[in-house]
Structure 1
């Protein structure tokens, strides 16, 4: 047998049975958002960088529509250390992601909860704080088509919620989270629709769903959480990944429905006390050499050209900005409820057609792996993680940095605050201010809280006592109680009677004043007479 044919057969078997993508374990640089208050800007030193790793060239294993072709991707060296910020007009300083991993064996991300206080708000939420994960949205979260040559929903393999195998065999967001938080609840397993799988698997996504379906899904998610027996969702952090827009845009050529999305967010906010919602917009799959062209348009029956899909993408991006502002500036804003609205799920490859299923606007197994990597690194590195300077096939999965070991949200985009357990014992705490930034401030002690409570109770008691005395004295002077019903005629008679009594008393006082001189003279005469009688009695 020809050696080339044998090699091809071996490659085909490997592609069909292995789900992991080989990537480099060399830490890479990402640019950070400038810190307006000169706080930690994510330029870190690493304990892991002392270990030398051998740089090697990995291939971008290209899958065709049947997932059976493996092709080597070569990318030239690019300057990925810095990039030009068009908004600021200056180059941003590089930030080092100090450690990363590519499988379970190489996972060595530092565990921080033994030393730091985290999870007090969305501004200091670490992967270790997430106890429950859930998914909502469209077919991207149902895993439809991931089982070869079928339309079965393979929810256990969906990048946003799947939990089959481990990161050695299937890289999904929940499987990465389980390396940080082993007791993760809500993960999807196996195949089937949402109503066919157990309710404790919190995947409410539906194939063909649009943004108008999110409210119903949010209500069902809150209901399922309320009957979850394994964990008390009221006290634990829930991470909710919503994939929406691909089927709106591709099958119906419709824009985003702001009212439906905001209503779904309101439902989640009112029903889940501690939640981090990741809102992912439509797919944007592009070639490394032309990242502006969304190849999704070729698989959408209602889109006739590049201009149409660009117009729809702008609409979705604009609505997602509005959603982010709506949540961040809401009068019902809560420090333990946050939303990260990402306008598009962007993945690139030199051979991007291999990221799709056959003739469908849905991701293949490789596409789901790429989506996992892009989303995870975006959550850890922030908006500075951009594909103009990243090669997904070569990037590893980032570890949270020791200088900002949190999911990057709008609450910490300008800088992170760390609170050690020693500082917590000294009476300090992290607080999410009205401006959306996390600040560190002294914590009120129990003694001061008790003193304030006693003062408030004392003031309340004094006010009640004073008002009670006034009302009591007033009621004593009244002929009727406050709740007695008095006829108008009776009330008028009593008023006339009181007026006569006042007049009689006035006349008596006047008469007393007029007879006062006579009474005084009579009294003096009586005293003289008594005195004369006493004198005569003494002489005799």
Structure 2
């Protein structure tokens, strides 16, 4: 067995150990009932880049051993003018300014939980780096972590609810990020209820008066399982699930703007090939792996239908019935592809 094969085997074993500590049930609540004690034991287990004498190769990207501050030495410049808040707190969501937003929240899957966003070596991919989540993370500042929360902090330094460091959805570090790895669109109503409950319990949040921005980003796992049950993961079912969760927020969460991000191009998974990538994708997105031309065309069509239906539904104004609530669709990932290197090869370092 080569070193790479041995490493892949170890990764599989570690991942199976994590998953086996959960109750494998289709119900979202049951899938989360592995104990906090087991999770914390795993966290302690992976604090060092060596397990049982096996040194893990540093993941591509920033040199996180010599420069532990993600993303290394890079700094980002905020080039926008920081608009002031409204003279009078608006009562209509369509008059909202960035500086009027007091609370930030997030719903979704591992992309929202930010699994592995600050990982140095493979087992740390299981960690949820919520402080680095693109839609919610509040680690450091915009110059170090260019997230939506850190953008909003440029307008309102007193922003509440953002995540920091690592932790599960129900940890204090998570803030108002209820995203859960592996979740699909049918889990969004549960996440909506959790978000409402968390905001109500937080003594720092003025539940009825604070304006809130919630980003909902879901759908990749639906498409990754589409080939296993085309009815359960039908594009219309996907949109119906999201609309159900949005109506919960509309009914129960006052003064809220929801940012609905369109699903990314899951068929691009086929381009991200390599022994380690193949192991992970076969475990969690096998519907997008090893496809012939006909299968790839079909999966691409399904993905486009997910994107089109959601954009049309959100854009129809169906959620504009209350002056203090609306949802906007963000299609910026619809045509996003895997970047290429100078020699026209896929640049997988981009995802580190």
TM-score between both structures, scaled by the size of structure 2: 0.65
Match of 1:160 in 2: 135
Give the C-alpha shift of residue 17 in structure 1.
4.7
Per-residue deviation at 1:251? 3.8
Task: Sort the Cα spacing of 1:113 and 1:184 in 2 relative to 1 into closer, same or farther, 3 A.
Answer: closer
Mapping of residues 179-194 of structure 1, within 5 Å: 179-194=154-169
1:481 is matched with none
User: In structure 1, how many angstroms separate the alpha carbons of the residues matched to 2:74 and 2:90?
Assistant: 33
Task: Provide the alpha-carbon RMSD of the alignment.
Answer: 2.9
Partner SS state of residue 134, structure 2: coil
Counterpart of 2:243 (choices 262, 281, 284) is 262
1:217-267, Cα deviation, whole Å (9 max, x unpaired)? 001111111112012121111100011011111244434423221111110
More RCO (CA 8 Å, sep 6+): 1
**1:143 equivalenced with 2:143 (yes/no):** no
1:302 correspondence with 2:287: yes
**Structure 1: tracts of 5 or more residues without a match:** 1-10, 24-101, 286-293, 357-362, 366-540
CA distance in 1, matches of 2:69, 2:324: 41
SS of equivalent to 1:345 = coil
The counterpart of 1:233, out of the listed 207, 210, 233, is 207
Distance 1:16 1:353 in 2: 26
**TM-score normalised by L of structure 1:** 0.43
Alignment partner, residue 324 of structure 1: 314
Change in 2 beyond 3 A, CA 1:321/1:208: same
Match of 1:176 in 2: 151
Query: For the Cα contact (< 8 Å) 2:106–2:177, is it kept in 1?
Result: yes
Asked if residue 109 in structure 1 is aligned to residue 56 in structure 2, the reply is no
Distance (Å, rounded) in 1 between the aligned partners of 2:160 and 2:202: 9
Distance 1:334 1:273, change over 3 A: same
Closer, same or farther: CA 17–192 of 1 in aligned 2, 3 Å: closer
Give 1:107 shift. 5.0
Q: Give the deviation of 1:22 after TM superposition.
A: 6.4
- Aligned counterparts of 2:148 and 2:135: Cα–Cα separation in 1: 6
| 1:274 shift after superposition | 0.8
Equivalent residue, structure 2, for 1:19: 71
Conserved? CA contact 2:166–2:174, under 8 Å: no
Q: CA deviation digits over 1:416-453, x for unaligned, max 9? A: xxxxxxxxxxxxxxxxxxxxxxxxxxxxxxxxxxxxxx
- Tell me: CA distance 1:268–1:337, structure 2 relative to 1, closer, same or farther (3 Å): same
Unaligned runs of 5+ in 2: 1-61, 228-232, 272-280
Q: CA deviation at 1:171?
A: 1.1
- The residue that corresponds to 1:201 in the other structure is 175
**Inter-partner Cα distance in structure 1 for 2:63 and 2:73:** 15
1:314/1:284 Cα in 2 relative to 1: closer, same or farther (>3 Å)? closer
Q: Which residue of 1 aligns with 2:351?
A: 364
**What SS does structure 1 have at the residue aligned with 2:167?**
coil
